[in-house]
Structure 1
Amino acid sequence: MHSHANEGANGIGSSVGGSTEGKIRCIFLSEFHATAGCKISCQVPDNYISKEVFDAINVYIIPKQHLQRCILTVNTMDVKIVGYPVDIQDQQKYARNAFLFNLCFVCDSRARSVQYEPVVKKLSEYLIMMEEESCFLSREDDKVRLQNIFETVLRDLNERKVATIVEGDNTIYLKIVMHKPDPPSVKDHMVPLLLVNFRNKPLENWDLTTQQILPYINGINHVARIAAEADVETDLVKSCIQNLVYYGVVQLLPILKYSNVYMTQNLKHLIQSTALSNACRKYVALNPDKTLPSVQKIFQFYASMTHGVTLRAICQRLCPQNHNIDERKLVIFGLQHKFIRCIHKYPVFTGSVPSCRQKMYTGLISFDEICCKTGLSPYTIEKDIEKDTNVTVIWK
């Protein structure tokens, strides 16, 4: 069972948006004492969770029986508390026939906390074992040892994301595993580019599907073309590329066409970083044996990219090949390092009864995707739309 109790300004169930990565601010152990009731018995750093805050939320820290041994997250008063409440039953050992406790990690209220949940559970299970073996938690004289454990875990997990605890014959290893969000679904018109760190990796080191499609991944071929040329089923290619994107091996780019319009952004980084500008000069060189293109010429090319100006028009004006610049590689490098972005065109049908192709003109499907789905060239689609008074084109 996996439960979350999120308490926000409006009470239980309200959510807090805009989560960010954040450190563990505090670790504490709460227990239900036979006479004192619900209390914090050990906390690092001391008094991070005040008595007032704890008294307001302790009903969620030591909850009812049906919420035992599952992750509970309480979000309130600018803190997020991740716990794993435990109820150890033993009529001989404990005054109320049971020992109730909860090990909790505390983060900022907007911090992402899901990566801490397995660690909280594992550390709690370790403390259960220690308690059952030697009453490690319920004996008052062991609180200093527990505080030392919490200090080690807090420091090491925040600094190195790993921690090791040795108590007598017992050793526990804790590790924070960061879960990436799922990559976006890969579509036929998307263009994969193998990132530089993986370009020289031997082919036999990849799985079989990747081995088949890798020779066709060049930053220019789109997914549908890769599938056709590699003779691999399209859905298999999409799954493979999605996996490569997830692990940071491949980046997805828009189809490179001379009718495309690009806009500059963050161009100052090219000038500010000598390493980046040198890498760019090498990458975009039409002939690497000749004098490398100057940063000034490369910058001029990027700076010419603006709304309403096609790549074709820029090439006709600046003649990049006369300066040893491969304009296709220049675009790829710019997209990869986010110096430029492609302005996509989305046709919208505004008439009453759409034809088969006009049904795709929803404003949500780009030219590139329409070309891939229909098998028609961008020029054909362009001419079709220019003649159609019921179609408007959105650029974004």
Structure 2
Amino acid sequence: MTNNQQQFYEGCGREGLIRCIFLSEFHPVAGSKISCQVPEGYVTKDVFDAVNVYIIPKPQLQRCILTVNVMKTKIVGYPVKIDSQRYARNAFYFNLCFVCDFWARSVQYEPVVKKLSEYLTMMEEETGFLSKDEDDKIQLQTLLGRILSDLNEHKVTTIVEGENTIYLKIVTHLPDPPTVLDHMVPLLMSEYKSIPLESWDLTSQQILPYINGINHIARIAAEADVEVTLVKACIQNLAYYGVVKLLPILKYSNVYMCTRSLQNLTKDNMLYTACRKYVSLNPDRPSPSLAKVFQFYASMTHGITLRTICQRLSPQNHNIDERKLVIFGLQHDLIRCISKYPVFIGSMPNGRQRLYTGTYNFDEICCKTGLSAANIERDIDSDTNVTVIWK
């Protein structure tokens, strides 16, 4: 195992290569066995013996996607039973399996495994393609080798066997779209800014001019004169495909903290160059130095507001636009926003106190009530039954 693989773990969300494809059959005398695999010997006898009851399972699990993670190996299969009197015991059991690293995300392989298994089922029913003698599996070995190579290199392959053709493609499954709330601020990613406005759908055309990393959802809906539910649905779709990123509202009263990713600013020359260019207040003046940019980020810590940092470091004197610096830091996970959550600790809440549950932060409460953060602050400071949690 490489050093990079050692830091991965089951559930980390990373995708890996298909390490092996094998066909398992149930022999009427020998029982479950691997009759063909590419590359040879990848799945050892110890691994197979540990999982063979799931490779050729009981009838209740036939034609179901099964994923087994054992002994640093993840196996994805689709067991099939073909009933026919031409077979011993009147049935032929097989399972075409993909093998990948134990930490790798495998959900994207499931439709491919199922489709390939159904194709092989059809081939077996027509020509006995799978149940041939072991010495006659050279054709299957070659087929699996081509599938393994094509899917790893191109994520797509075409199989032609006689008059039968099948197309296989690995489609990456994105995580569920984020929940979009009124107080969230969408930021259009730089690679999509050059797309002409007329190329977008109608709702996107109406709201894109107002997406600047400053306006929150409710404000965009008001300024674009678009129903807020439509704006949320549109932004959710754009966020799902990585076109926009959702940020917290930028306020000088906010508290930010740098993350471990801040060190990338000194190691990644492309990131550093992009940062200097983006945060420059005046493009006609020399770009700010790495030392000043890093000093500004490093000053962000618990209990220190953005306003205090600006008063102390005077970023504009160094050609730094502090708002763009914050936006760039949030976009690249160099910093994160520490939000305030008011909590009512009395007995019977009334009015705005019902919102002080610890689940709504200041930005969300401001959007729900239409009040400014300063008004909410005064309300909380004067109420002895309310405390504030920072997280």
Which of 278, 282, 298 aligns to 2:277? It is 282
Q: How many corresponding residue pairs?
A: 380
Deviation at 1:55, TM superposition (A): 4.2
Deviation at 1:68, TM superposition (A): 2.6
| Distance in 2 (alpha carbons) for counterparts of 1:267 and 1:286 | 21
| Distance in 1 (alpha carbons) for counterparts of 2:60 and 2:333 | 50
Which of 214, 217, 220 aligns to 2:208? It is 214
Q: How does 1:52-91 map to 2 (within 5 A)?
A: 52-91=46-85
Question: Helix, strand or coil for the counterpart of 1:267?
Answer: helix
Higher mean C-alpha displacement, 244-253 vs 68-77? 68-77
Matching of residue 39 in structure 1 with residue 40 in structure 2: no
Matching of residue 257 in structure 1 with residue 231 in structure 2: no
| Distance in 1 (alpha carbons) for counterparts of 2:120 and 2:349 | 66
Deviation at 1:244, TM superposition (A): 0.6
| Distance in 1 (alpha carbons) for counterparts of 2:50 and 2:244 | 49
Question: Helix, strand or coil for the counterpart of 2:79?
Answer: strand
Q: How does 1:1-396 map to 2 (within 5 A)?
A: 20-91=14-85, 93-140=86-133, 141-265=135-259, 266-396=261-391
Deviations 1:331-354 (A, max 9, x none): 111111222211111111111111
| Distance in 2 (alpha carbons) for counterparts of 1:340 and 1:377 | 25
Deviations 1:218-244 (A, max 9, x none): 000000111111111111111111111
Higher mean C-alpha displacement, 205-214 vs 24-33? 24-33
Question: Helix, strand or coil for the counterpart of 1:21?
Answer: coil
Contact 1:81/1:105, CA 8 A, preserved across alignment: yes
In the alignment, which residue of structure 1 is the partner of 2:4?
none
Deviation at 1:251, TM superposition (A): 0.5
| Distance in 1 (alpha carbons) for counterparts of 2:71 and 2:285 | 64
Identity of counterpart residues, as a percentage? Answer: 73
Question: Helix, strand or coil for the counterpart of 1:286?
Answer: coil
Contact 1:136/1:142, CA 8 A, preserved across alignment: no
| Distance in 2 (alpha carbons) for counterparts of 1:154 and 1:243 | 33
Deviations 1:142-181 (A, max 9, x none): 3111112222222332333233333344333322111011
Name the amino acid aligned to 1:219. Answer: G
Higher mean C-alpha displacement, 374-383 vs 331-340? 331-340
Deviations 1:231-273 (A, max 9, x none): 1111111111111111010001110001111112233322333
Deviation at 1:77, TM superposition (A): 4.1
Tell me the TM-score normalized by structure 1. Answer: 0.89
Name the amino acid aligned to 1:201. Answer: I
Higher mean C-alpha displacement, 316-325 vs 183-192? 316-325
In the alignment, which residue of structure 1 is the partner of 2:6?
none
| Distance in 1 (alpha carbons) for counterparts of 2:239 and 2:13 | 23
| Distance in 1 (alpha carbons) for counterparts of 2:330 and 2:246 | 10
Deviation at 1:17, TM superposition (A): 5.8
Deviation at 1:202, TM superposition (A): 0.4
Gap change, CA 1:143 and 1:348, over 3 Å in 2: same
| Distance in 1 (alpha carbons) for counterparts of 2:294 and 2:11 | 39
Gap change, CA 1:322 and 1:207, over 3 Å in 2: same
Gap change, CA 1:40 and 1:273, over 3 Å in 2: closer
Name the amino acid aligned to 2:109. Answer: Y
Deviation at 1:18, TM superposition (A): 5.5
Contact 2:150/2:156, CA 8 A, preserved across alignment: yes
Higher mean C-alpha displacement, 221-230 vs 261-270? 261-270
| Distance in 1 (alpha carbons) for counterparts of 2:58 and 2:269 | 61
Tell me the TM-score normalized by structure 2. Answer: 0.90
In the alignment, which residue of structure 2 is the partner of 1:6?
none
Gap change, CA 1:113 and 1:255, over 3 Å in 2: same
Deviation at 1:53, TM superposition (A): 4.3
Name the amino acid aligned to 1:157. Answer: L
Gap change, CA 1:303 and 1:77, over 3 Å in 2: closer
Gap change, CA 1:112 and 1:282, over 3 Å in 2: closer
Deviations 1:50-100 (A, max 9, x none): 445434543332233343322223344443322112222332x33333322
Gap change, CA 1:282 and 1:76, over 3 Å in 2: closer
| Distance in 2 (alpha carbons) for counterparts of 1:36 and 1:317 | 78
Question: Helix, strand or coil for the counterpart of 1:239?
Answer: helix
Contact 2:262/2:334, CA 8 A, preserved across alignment: yes
Deviation at 1:37, TM superposition (A): 3.1
Contact 2:16/2:104, CA 8 A, preserved across alignment: yes
| Distance in 2 (alpha carbons) for counterparts of 1:209 and 1:299 | 39
Deviations 1:340-396 (A, max 9, x none): 211111111111111221122122211111111111100011111111122111112
